[in-house]
Amino acid sequence: MLRSTSTSMILLGVLGVIVGVIAIAWPGVTILALVILFAIYAFVAASLQTMRAFSSGAAGPVLGHLLLALVDLAAGVVAVIWPGPTALVLVLVVAIWAFVAGFAEIFAAFSAGETAGTRAMLILTGLISIALGVVLSSRPDVGAVTLALLFGLFSMISGVSQIVQGVEMRQIRRTLHPVQRKAA
């Protein structure tokens, strides 16, 4: 079992490094891929809302689900027809998320029972999230490229980490295998 797990971790790590290199080398491709994934999500959501509409027994939910399906369909079509503006809107959504998360973390820092260290980390993390929101919302065009580059960097670091863990698992297996034989 350790061998197959270590092999899968190493392969996932290599894939992560490859994806990271691609994201850093071609951030425009990464942004376009994100927009395409959003469009696919919107089309799938529209299909699911349509199915829910026709499986409902009352008229109210049918109209509501059909309206949501139309909104999802429109979002998918807009993403396909105008990928540039869609990417900017997605960056603004991430910026809003960063603002909300930052303020929530700062608020959580002052909740009862937090230690000074935890409180300081929550405040610091909250301020960093708010700063990210400011940067992304001030220049969404640059923010899209920045997000693609950060994604690439994260993928590379995560991939290297998985490769190291997979190699360590193999070393543990080699160490434990002779011990298991002696014990048996």
Written as one string, the DSSP assignment of 7-31 is HHHHHHHHHHHHHHHHHHH-HHHHH
**Does residue 171 lie in a domain region?**
no
**Does residue 179 lie in a domain region?**
no
- Mean pLDDT (the chain) is 86
**Does residue 45 lie in a domain region?**
yes
Distance CA 60, CA 42 (A): 22
The pLDDT tens digits of the residues spanning 159-182 come to: 899 899 889 888 887 887 777 777
**Does residue 61 lie in a domain region?**
yes
Report the number of distinct structural domains present in the chain: 1
For residue 2, give the nearest of 172, 180, 184 by alpha carbon. 172
**Does residue 33 lie in a domain region?**
yes
Q: Which domain holds residue 93?
A: 2-164
**Does residue 174 lie in a domain region?**
no
pLDDT band at 127 (very low <50, low <70, confident <90, very high): very high
**Does residue 180 lie in a domain region?**
no
The pLDDT tens digits of the residues spanning 37-67 come to: 889 999 999 999 898 888 866 666 778 888 9
